[in-house]
Amino acid sequence: MVFPAVAARTFEMFKEEGSFRKLIKQMVRKVSKIGSASKRARYVHDKIDQEVEFLFKDPAVNNLVSCKKGCNACCHGQVSVTEDEANLLVDLIEDGVKIDWSRLWHQAEFKNDSQAFLKLPYSLRGCIFLDESGECQVYEDRPSVCRTNFVVSEPQLCRIEEGSENKVRLLNTFAADSWVYSLFKVSKQSGSLPFLVKKLLSERKVYSKRDDLDL
């Protein structure tokens, strides 16, 4: 199981507290009762959004966070997703969302190796769901990790053109992180977005139906 670093860190911070362990168990139990992969993902995404929205009611948080519309630096790193989230994204592709197939094939080769992934040229590291203007085409259904990483350090530190990640300060999103952890805990498998999406596309034989592949 590949847990996102921030959610895993939150769990490690609070795992010795009985009330936190009890809360995680309740979350896991609630999520596991949802039978549909897409419904599980969307349920947790809604819970994450609610927790984040609560944080942003504080004016200080709004002033501290550097992330703004149009910024996509973090969309050039390797993102971990659950199988449920990958299924949801593949549903969207089947429904007509356009992706960069060539970039998907290049990125998926690195599986879950984030350091090897960063050795790809910057232009090939962009998320497959970014459109030509650099905006997310699946914003409403973006993965849980994309919903919780809010930078409170200088925006230029987010740049990773050189193939290495700088240390950035993130907004503490402990409640949202707990939902992320629960979704990953329930999932049968998790991994990098390109790797899991390509795997599911292959299993559904979606890519074999495309006549616009440029590989």
Give how far the C-alpha of residue 85 lies from the chain's centroid of Cα atoms, to the nearest Å: 8
Task: Please report the pLDDT score of residue 207 as a whole number.
Answer: 67
Banded model confidence at residue 215, pLDDT cuts 50, 70, 90:
very low
Distance between CA 74 and CA 89 in Å, rounded?
A: 18
In this predicted structure, which of 5-9, 30-34, 159-163, 175-179 has the lowest mean pLDDT?
159-163
> Cβ neighbours of residue 33 under 8 Å, at least 6 residues apart?
none
pLDDT at 21 (0 to 100): 95
Does the pLDDT of residue 208 top 80, yes or no?
no
How does residue 12 score in pLDDT terms, banded at 50, 70 and 90?
A: very high
Number of domains in the chain: 1
Is residue 64, in this structure, part of any structural domain at all? yes
Residues in the chain: 215
**Is 198 domain-assigned?**
yes
Coil, helix or strand for 170?
Answer: strand
Domain of 196? 5-207
Per the prediction, the chain carries an average pLDDT of: 91
pLDDT at 198: 95
pTM for the predicted model, two decimal places:
0.92
Q: Pick the closest to residue 182 from 146, 144, 140 (CA basis).
A: 144
d(CA 208, CA 215): 13
Residue range 150-154: mean pLDDT, rounded:
92
Res. 158 pLDDT band, cuts 50 70 90: confident
pLDDT in tens, 40-91: 999 999 999 999 999 999 999 999 999 887 789 889 999 999 999 999 999 9
- Nearest residue to 108 via CA among 193, 215, 195: 195
Q: Does residue 136 have a pLDDT over 50?
A: yes
d(CA 62, CA 26): 31
Q: Give the E-state strand segments of the chain in sequence order.
A: 80-82, 190-192
Question: Is 214 inside any structural domain?
Answer: no
**DSSP strand E in 126-210: where?**
190-192
| Residue 215, in any domain of the structure | no
